[in-house]
Amino acid sequence: MSNPVNGCGIGLRFQHIDTIADSKPPIPWLEVLTDNYLLPGSVQQDYLFEIAEHYPLTFHGVGMSLGSTDPLDTEYFSRVKALVERVNPAWVSDHLCWTSVHRLVTHDLIPLPYTEETIHHAARRIRQAQDMLERRLVIENVSSYLQYQQSAMSEWDFLCAVAEEADCDILLDVNNIYVSACNHDFDPLAYLNAIPHQRVQEMHLAGYEDRGTHLLDTHGYPVNDAVWKLYATAIRRFGAIPTLIEWDNNVPELDILLAEATKAAEVQAHVLA
């Protein structure tokens, strides 16, 4: 059995991996960027196996390309499955988007058109992915900067419909909701209130950059005050959901990252008191 994941964790980043492996600071849980650890026999895997002995882990990927029209990459999924079987994370997540086309990887999380056809397409591929991994998936909402003319519903209705049809869980990224709400002028509370609480497995918090014409989800700054407020509302609605601080660019000292996780825990405790 994997260790239970509770409270507010951080992402395992290479900048901190030696410190965590050596001094084992008190961190409730760690999220692993799956794609960085898929090479068998690598130094990265050695580090991961050591850390897995001391911390509850979750796996978070960017390579499934669940919304693409390319066939699912069976070699990629076999590597993920082998790592999952070795480490046994609490759950495995990826994004409701596409990241590749004609086998060319964009290195971006590109949103999908919100249509009935896309619901069935994405849900079918998520079910295939779950079958290959023999694991229930957790899918994350992405931030967006453009919208498709074909879209016939809101993002939250689309996300709920895909999760229902695929029978998977949701990783609710509160920062992404806020960024997209500002970029597309919708009410983030309408988004939160539409999500079925029984499907929310995890939440993400991160920092964005204000570019003037739009907000950019950079994961390079502390969590914004407006996102903390939205997070408090989310905790009111969903309860004590395991929460992760994502910080991938301008990665700070470990103490700063842990302080953000502590702040998330304090928001949870205050709301639920």
Q: In whole angstroms, give the CA distance from residue 80 to residue 89.
A: 11
Residue 164: inside a domain: yes
Share of the chain above pLDDT 90, in %: 89
Residue 242: inside a domain: yes
**Number of domains present in the structure of the chain:** 1
Structure tokens at 230: 């939205």
Question: Tokens 């978070």, residue?
Answer: 60
Residue 3: inside a domain: no
> In this model, does residue 1 exceed pLDDT 70?
no
Residue 2: inside a domain: no
Decide: helix, strand or coil at residue 229: helix
Which of 207, 223, 218 is closest to 266 using CA atoms?
Answer: 223
State pTM to two decimals. Answer: 0.95
Structure tokens at 254: 């470990």
Residue 180: inside a domain: yes
Q: In whole angstroms, give the CA distance from residue 91 to residue 199.
A: 13
Structure tokens at 148: 């498709």
223 and 175 Cβ atoms separated by less than 8 Å: yes
Structure tokens at 268: 């949870």
Structural domain containing residue 15: 8-272
19 and 25 Cβ atoms separated by less than 8 Å: yes
Maximum alpha-carbon separation in the chain: 52
Dihedral sign, Cα of residue 28, residue 16, residue 50, residue 12: positive
Helix axes 74-87, 43-52, angle to 10 degrees: 40
Q: In whole angstroms, give the CA distance from residue 98 to residue 79.
A: 20
Query: Could you tell me how far CA 126 lies from the centroid of its own chain?
Result: 15
Stretch 159-177: mean pLDDT? 98
Q: In whole angstroms, give the CA distance from residue 137 to residue 255.
A: 31
Dihedral sign, Cα of residue 111, residue 242, residue 258, residue 51: negative
Stretch 213-223: mean pLDDT? 93
Condensed to tens digits (0 to 9), the pLDDT of residues 95-126 reads: 998 675 556 665 667 788 999 999 999 999 99
Q: In whole angstroms, give the CA distance from residue 239 to residue 254.
A: 27
Within 10 A of 67 (CB to CB), how many other CB atoms are there? 23
Residue 136: inside a domain: yes
Residue 73: inside a domain: yes
Which residues on neighbouring strands pair with residue 244, listed in sequence order? 9, 204
Q: Which CATH number belongs to the domain containing residue 57 in this structure?
A: 3.20.20.150
Residue 250: inside a domain: yes
Q: In whole angstroms, give the CA distance from residue 204 to residue 210.
A: 19
In whole numbers, what is the pLDDT of the chain averaged over residues?
94
Q: In whole angstroms, give the CA distance from residue 271 to residue 207.
A: 21
pLDDT value, residue 193: 97
Condensed to tens digits (0 to 9), the pLDDT of residues 12-23 reads: 999 999 999 999
